Amino acid sequence: MKDLKKLTAGILAEKLEGLDAADIEKMIETPPDSTLGDYAFPCFRLAKMFRKAPQMIAQEIAEQLAGETAFHEVRNVNAYVNFFMNRAEAEADAVVDVLEKKDEFGRSDLGAGKTVIVEFSSPNIAKPFHIGHLRSTVIGNSINKIYDALGYDVVRINHLGDYGTQFGKMIVAYRKWGSEEDVRREPIKSLLSYYVRFHDEAEKDPSLEDEARATFARLEQGEKEETELWKWFREESLREFTYVYDLLGIEFDSYAGESFYSDKMDRVIDIMNEKGILQESQGAQIVDLSDYNMPPAIIRKKDGSTLYITRDIAAALYRKETYDFFKNIYVVASQQNLHFSQWFKVIELMGFDWSEQCVHVPFGMVSLESGTLSTRKGQVVFLLDVLNKSIERTREIIKEKNVPAEALEQTAKDVGVGAVVFNELSNNRIKDYVFSWDKVLNFDGETGPYVQYTHARASSVLRRTEEDVKALYEGSAVPDMALASSDAAYELMKAVRKFPKIVEEAGEKYEPSVITRHIIDVAQYFNKFYHDEHILVEDREERLARLAVTIAAKQTIKNGLALLGVAAPDRM
């Protein structure tokens, strides 16, 4: 598909001495109002070069380009040259690209030969997979899909929180108040109840904290009983987590969590000693970061146990040596900003220049209408409950529609889960928000179900004229896009044309909401086109042109939803 901005810059370069196409392309703007054209070229900078008023330069350029077939019109407005592209040519160029690429439309080979690791989700073993984990899970999954679409070799890692002092607490709590039968029946809810009780009891009896630390130390030393309990908690937790991942359609290449690196930390500490950056402080081993306006990074506590930061450094070193990553992306809440700044700096001080390839992608926090999420207090909303409730609500709504009985359950799942995921990805990731059942389950307005319904509407149109659609895909019918160049059709096709660049922008910014907002725009443009113009007209040539616009819109919406991890039902 041609880059129309680059095309415009190239044509301008032939008329302007002293400026090359690359310089001109940087100067070209997109007018805020489509009535002012597709592109605008400001002439202020040229006044000194050509010793003329900018308005006069703009007028001369517009006159010189009057016969260019790439443009429907070239008009000067004050000191600007405004370009109106040849609509039929621009639309035909995009339609051909969509018809040829289909599900590949929007993909590129930008990252060919480069490996990107995306670490996301990463729930804690033996703790609930709650609504707070949804953000990392769906933002990370979308970033993974975006980078895959950009041609990178993506490795998806679920860095499970399966190590640390909390397991000492969990083991102590289970031994004192637990039941094997309860854990097997409801693993997460049972283990959570023990964890909550531990903290309640520890407020009355602080010695429980010492017992927990001693228990974790035995786990680190590989003691049989503690290790067997830990493995059991891990297996039961993973089994329950899998239900959620299956509903969301998410897969991982690795579940290597913190425990995987428990035997890899001595090497990290040896390197720090070799570099002379490790020092003792009150019995603990630290890296002093005061020169970088950060508190010290505690690498090993005085009881000999390690911390998150030690394991994160070991993990990064292992990943670089195993995958030779181009980027190592961590999708973790903004609360951990200092933690990541600290250990990125420690890696740099260890002499690894690839520390710059480690990227923290933060996101805002989730709270409940009743207050802050708290695992210790048992104040959580289980993610599985959210997804199931959304599916149930959707099932009741679409029972009244014309969804075939055999497709009812799948459609309810696609739309119900899609509503939750789309809601998460509809706003800038860094924003905090309050979880509200009413908002998540609201299917009106700029929501996932609205975009999915638009896709289903386009699919319905195309089903009613399958022979024409087949002819367009096979190339036996070539649409004359001049027959579908109304304002509604053209605005829609401009949005379709932007989609590949939108995918690139989302990758650069690690921001799925860039795609979410764009496909909402595409859906709105299509619905205006659908309402303003009759698509299945009698005249076949005109019908083919409007069907081509419909195919382009449907495919763009489908491909955009796929990058968000949301299904695109053909019927709703």
Which of the residues are catalytic? 127, 130, 133
Q: Phi and psi (nearest 5°) for 249?
A: 70, 35
The answer to whether 83 touches 40, Cβ cutoff 8 Å, is: yes
Strand partners, 401: none
- Taking alpha carbons only, the member of 248, 195, 233, 540 closest to residue 390 is 248
Separation between Cα atoms, residue 340 and residue 336, nearest integer Å: 6
Six-digit token string for 268 = 């990290």
CA 12 vs CA 63, 127, 539: distances in Å:
12, 62, 39
CB atoms within 10 A of CB 34: 13
The answer to whether 469 touches 527, Cβ cutoff 8 Å, is: no
- Taking alpha carbons only, the member of 5, 21, 14, 7 closest to residue 61 is 14
Question: In sequence order, what DSSP letters do the residues of 30-88 get, joined into one string?
Answer: --SSGGG-SEEEE-TTHHHHHTS-HHHHHHHHHHHTTT-TTEEEEEEETTEEEEEE-HH
Sheet holding 433-435, edge to edge: 371-372, 366-368, 433-435
Helix or strand holding residue 363 (H, E) = none
DSSP H helical ranges for 222-336 = 224-248, 265-275, 308-323
Separation between Cα atoms, residue 443 and residue 337, nearest integer Å: 34
Question: In sequence order, what DSSP letters do the residues of 131-164 get, joined into one string?
Answer: HHHHHHHHHHHHHHHHHHHTT-EEEEE---B--S
Question: In sequence order, what DSSP letters do the residues of 244-267 get, joined into one string?
Answer: HHHHHT---SB---GGGGTTSHHH
Sheet holding 71-77, edge to edge: 39-42, 80-85, 71-77
